[in-house]
């Protein structure tokens, strides 16, 4: 089963936890300066080192454009991976929990995702992958500065820990603004779901720890976890307040959103995403009882533009909107 179908710890607020380790191979320039020759050699070296990890090797260049975009929608690869595809590949586990990006900003980016708040398990997993690769690869490492990375902000542990949070009540109350500026003071970054520069569609936010230098891996993860726990409590408190002060409106909003998802015959990806956010809130607050959270988790991914485009014979916005409405209705009405 794909990891994202599940709900994990604190799943009412935390969608997923992710650990990313950036690594580069000694004796080669950083990815953007590699020759084609060197690039091929590096991909071969890593692929070989990964034998035994039971990961599928997917070359970006040999994959249709729509499938690459599906990987972005599933948070398996970064949008950056859509460019220079002949130099890039990904190693992927069947449950999609482990993905190793090759030839992106760094030679190697190990990513491990878990459902809910589960940073330590994600870290364990990432360390295991890292250990296996390190047996055969010689990483660029400086005794004083730690792992060498293309961008200096990753130097040190090369680790970035992040959590995806669903914060509809903090967003509705406007308290999210205070939270964003507090997070920045703690060296954390908060951004919308589809990466830097994107808005917080569907009330989804990614909180990540940017500090990699002068701090241990576990300290980095702990700091993020502590902040996330505070945010969880704030969000829950605000949901209680909404419920106490505005229950009728809240119940109305989430019920209508579920009703529209079940009845619409045309749905844009943005509208679907926002309605699914309302339904997620409704389920987590016990208002909606006839839709399982797994259906929302699944649809949040499978209603993405690329996922729908792959199912359409004709790839136009209106045929996608029609197909998306069909997929949603089918999933929500007979689950």
CA distance 27 to 42: 11
**How remote is the C-alpha of 214 from its chain's centroid?**
26
| 147 sits in which H/E element | strand 146-147
Pick 193 or 258: Cβ nearer a copy of itself: 258
**Are 92 and 58 contacting, i.e. CB atoms less than 8 angstroms apart?**
yes
**Are 25 and 150 contacting, i.e. CB atoms less than 8 angstroms apart?**
no
Distances (CA, A) of 108 to 46, 47, 140, 145, 149: 8, 11, 11, 18, 10
Provide the β-strand partners of residue 188: 209
CA distance 100 to 110: 4
Taking the complex as a whole, how short is the minimal distance between the CB of residue 258 and a copy of itself, in angstroms?
Answer: 6
| Backbone CA torsion sign across 275, 276, 279, 280 | negative
Pick 214 or 259: Cβ nearer a copy of itself: 259
Pick 256 or 335: Cβ nearer a copy of itself: 256
Nearest Cα to Cα of residue 300 among 324, 326, 322 = 324
Taking the complex as a whole, how short is the minimal distance between the CB of residue 279 and a copy of itself, in angstroms?
Answer: 11
Taking the complex as a whole, how short is the minimal distance between the CB of residue 44 and a copy of itself, in angstroms?
Answer: 49
Please report, as ranges, the residues that interact with a copy of itself according to CB under 8 A: 248-249, 251-252, 255-256, 258-260, 262-266, 318, 322, 325
Taking the complex as a whole, how short is the minimal distance between the CB of residue 315 and a copy of itself, in angstroms?
Answer: 16
Tokens of residue 1, six digits = 């089963």
Pick 56 or 256: Cβ nearer a copy of itself: 256
Taking the complex as a whole, how short is the minimal distance between the CB of residue 322 and a copy of itself, in angstroms?
Answer: 6
Pick 212 or 257: Cβ nearer a copy of itself: 257
Taking the complex as a whole, how short is the minimal distance between the CB of residue 335 and a copy of itself, in angstroms?
Answer: 16
Pick 249 or 330: Cβ nearer a copy of itself: 249
């Amino acid at each position: 089963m794909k990891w994202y179908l599940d709900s994990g710890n604190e799943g009412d607020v935390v969608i997923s936890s992710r650990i990313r380790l950036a690594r580069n191979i000694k004796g080669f320039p950083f990815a953007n300066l590699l020759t084609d020759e060197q690039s091929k050699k590096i991909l071969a070296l890593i692929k070989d080192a990964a034998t035994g990890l039971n990961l599928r090797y997917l070359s970006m260049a040999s994959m249709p454009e729509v499938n690459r975009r599906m990987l972005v929608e599933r948070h398996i690869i970064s949008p950056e991976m859509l460019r220079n595809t002949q130099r890039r590949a990904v190693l992927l586990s069947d449950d999609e929990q482990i993905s190793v990006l090759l030839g992106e900003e760094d030679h190697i980016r190990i990513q491990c995702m878990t459902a809910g708040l589960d940073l330590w398990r994600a870290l364990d997993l990432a360390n295991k992958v890292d250990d296996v690769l390190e047996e055969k690869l010689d990483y660029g490492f400086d005794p004083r500065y730690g792992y060498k990375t293309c961008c200096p902000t990753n130097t040190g542990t090369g680790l970035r820990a992040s959590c995806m949070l669903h914060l509809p009540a903090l967003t509705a109350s406007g308290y999210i603004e205070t939270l964003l500026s507090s997070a920045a003071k703690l060296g954390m970054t908060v951004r919308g779901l589809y990466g830097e520069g994107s808005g917080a569609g569907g009330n989804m936010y990614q909180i990540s720890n940017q500090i990699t230098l002068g701090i241990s891996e576990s300290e980095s993860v702990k700091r993020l976890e502590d902040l996330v726990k505070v945010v969880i409590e704030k969000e829950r408190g605000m949901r209680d307040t909404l419920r106490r002060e505005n229950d009728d409106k809240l119940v109305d909003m989430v019920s209508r959103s579920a009703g529209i998802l079940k009845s619409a015959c045309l749905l844009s990806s943005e509208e679907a995403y926002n309605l699914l956010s309302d339904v997620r809130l409704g389920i987590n607050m016990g208002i909606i009882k006839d839709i399982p959270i797994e259906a929302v988790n699944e649809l949040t991914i499978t209603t993405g533009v690329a996922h729908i485009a792959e199912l359409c014979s004709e790839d136009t916005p209106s045929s996608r909107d029609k197909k998306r409405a069909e997929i949603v209705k089918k999933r929500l009405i007979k689950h």
